[in-house]
Amino acid sequence: MNDLAILQVSPTEPRKGTVKWFDANRGFGFVVIDGFEADFLLHQNILHSFGRTSIAEGSTVEFAYQGTKNGFKIVEIFAIAPPPAGMIQDPQAQPDIIFEERVPARVKWFDPSKGYGFVNAFGSAEDIFVGIAILRKSMLGDLQSGDAVCIQIAETEGRKSVFSVHDWC
């Protein structure tokens, strides 16, 4: 019996898997289920429907899928959980000051190969640093220029940086 016959779309029984990888620049990635050989295609449009543009490697996803002649594709996301704590390295775990309120912001630029970028809070031209570890902690794998997000800002040694990133507020 082939894999397509084993797994069927079931809205009453969503599947859970782990993000193997996701590349926001390419617009897709893959989710895997333990004990199952085939990968599940996760297209960026499906993430957009869930209110995200990217997702961190190792995140857990609850989803519905569809079998196609080319394999499996995710057609809806019901829930996303962050990667296990051991996968996240947070160099800003103890910032000096945390501004608790969420501030709307727009991504100025982010380069995943460098592991950082900058955002601007609405109404301000000041660049605020955002590192890839913070994105992973916030269940995001990448940001795209122009993305609208909500951020919490930390100040360490007189320098502002993003402490956490949230869906648009």
Q: What is the pLDDT of residues 41-65, one digit of tens each?
A: 999 889 888 878 788 888 899 999 9
Domain identity same for 76 and 8:
yes
Stretch 129-141: mean pLDDT, rounded?
80
Q: Please check whether residues 67 and 10 belong to one and the same domain.
A: yes
Q: Are 72 and 14 in contact (CB under 8 A)?
A: no
* Domain end residue (candidates: 54, 85, 116): 85
Angle subtended at Cα 143 by Cα 136 and Cα 22, rounded to the nearest 5 degrees: 65
Separation CA 160–CA 60 (nearest Å): 30
67, 81: one domain:
yes
* Of 3, 33, 21, 4, the residue nearest 136 (C-alpha): 21
Number of domains in the chain: 2
pLDDT at position 69 is: 85
Query: pLDDT-derived band of residue 38, with 50, 70 and 90 as boundaries?
Result: confident
Residue 120: its pLDDT value, please?
Answer: 93
Q: pLDDT value at position 91?
A: 45
pTM for the full predicted model? 0.54
